[in-house]
């Protein structure tokens, strides 16, 4: 891999998080329209978290306005892989990412939920599940477009610092800051947030054709500044995105 001196090559801003959402959904909708023309389209890499909720809401509204035949073709050919899932939560648990994806995306557009691939949170051997999940992505042709959020400690997916770009899909112990950041889905009770999760590694993320990092919120100002001004470092997992030739960063102007 070659180090990208100019990073990011593509940065898109919005005057507000809402405006940024619409800019990104413009891009994503056009990507999905082009995907309809592909004979064997690659899977899409999906993310969760508070940043993604308005994005899924807007995307669902757009997709439901499509001609019926086009929407059916999109849904029939849909394959996506989520970045991560907590270990030990049932599919129905309100804090699970399966429940999140069903609520915010799958059910509203009538998508067969089997087409949204998410690690099995109740697997008896989570590390084996992580290995098989990575293999399933590889067998499916790899990720075409990967969506990411930025954690307050610089994580992408659940790749906690320190982290190498060679790390593959695995079971990761979650930091206190990450559990605190995700407590909103557990009635703000950090004790209810699982302590580990299955996550795609930087290895799978960097193998994607294109990567889209979406950053909003004043609490991300410091880590976003660090990302833009740092070199690649295990201490800042998102910094490894510098190794990829096609990274788009979507950021609201309040971060600058």
Cα separation, 7 vs 118, whole angstroms: 30
Per-residue pLDDT reduced to its tens digit, 151-161: 999 999 999 99
Q: Is 23 a catalytic residue?
A: no
Cα–Cα distance between 249 and 20 in angstroms, integer?
11
- Name every residue whose Cβ is closer than 8 Å to that of residue 97 and which is 6 or more positions away in sequence: 48, 82, 84, 85, 86, 118
Which positions of the chain have pLDDT values less than 70?
1-6
Catalytic choice (85, 104, 155, 182): 155
Closest CA to 91 of 106, 76, 78: 106
Q: Which runs of E-coded beta strand occur in 8-97?
A: 10-14, 44-46, 80-82, 84-86
Give the tens place of pLDDT for each residue, 61-79.
999 999 999 999 999 999 9
71 neighbors 108 (Cβ within 8 angstroms):
no
| Catalytic choice (91, 99, 120, 153) | 153
Of 85, 129, 159, 160, which one is the catalytic site residue?
Answer: 160
For the chain, the domains span: 10-255
The answer to whether 219 is a known catalytic residue is no
Instruction: Supply 214's token pair.
Output: 């979406």
pTM of the model: 0.96
Residues 6+ apart with CB under 8 A from 199: 83, 84, 130, 157, 158, 159, 169, 170, 172
Beta-carbon contacts of 178 under 8 Å, excluding residues fewer than 6 positions away, are: 151, 152, 153, 155, 158, 160
Give the Cβ contact number of residue 236 at 10 Å: 21
* Domain range 10-255, CATH class: alpha beta
């Amino acid at each position: 891999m070659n180090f990208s001196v100019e990073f990011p090559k593509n940065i898109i801003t919005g005057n507000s998080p809402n405006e940024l959402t619409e800019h990104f959904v413009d891009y994503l909708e056009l990507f999905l329209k082009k995907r309809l023309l592909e004979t064997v389209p690659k899977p899409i890499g999906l993310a969760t978290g508070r940043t993604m909720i308005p994005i899924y809401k807007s995307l669902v509204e757009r997709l439901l306005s499509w001609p019926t035949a086009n929407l059916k073709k999109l849904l029939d050919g849909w394959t996506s892989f989520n970045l991560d899932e907590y270990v030990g939560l049932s599919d129905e648990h309100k804090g699970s990412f399966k429940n999140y994806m069903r609520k915010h995306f799958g059910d509203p557009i009538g998508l067969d939920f089997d087409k949204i691939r998410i690690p099995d949170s109740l697997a008896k051997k989570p590390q084996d599940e992580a290995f098989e999940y990575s293999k399933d992505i590889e067998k499916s042709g790899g990720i075409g477009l990967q969506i990411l959020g930025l954690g307050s400690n610089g994580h992408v997916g659940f790749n906690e610092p320190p982290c190498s770009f060679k790390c593959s899909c695995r079971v990761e112990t979650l930091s206190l800051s990450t559990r605190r950041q995700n407590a909103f889905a557990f009635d703000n009770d950090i004790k209810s947030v699982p302590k580990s999760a299955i996550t795609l590694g930087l290895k799978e993320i960097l193998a994607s054709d294109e990567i889209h990092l979406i950053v909003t919120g004043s609490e991300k100002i410091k880590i976003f500044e660090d990302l833009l001004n740092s070199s690649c470092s295990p201490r800042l997992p998102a910094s490894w995105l510098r190794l990829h030739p096609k990274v788009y960063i979507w950021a609201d102007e309040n971060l600058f």
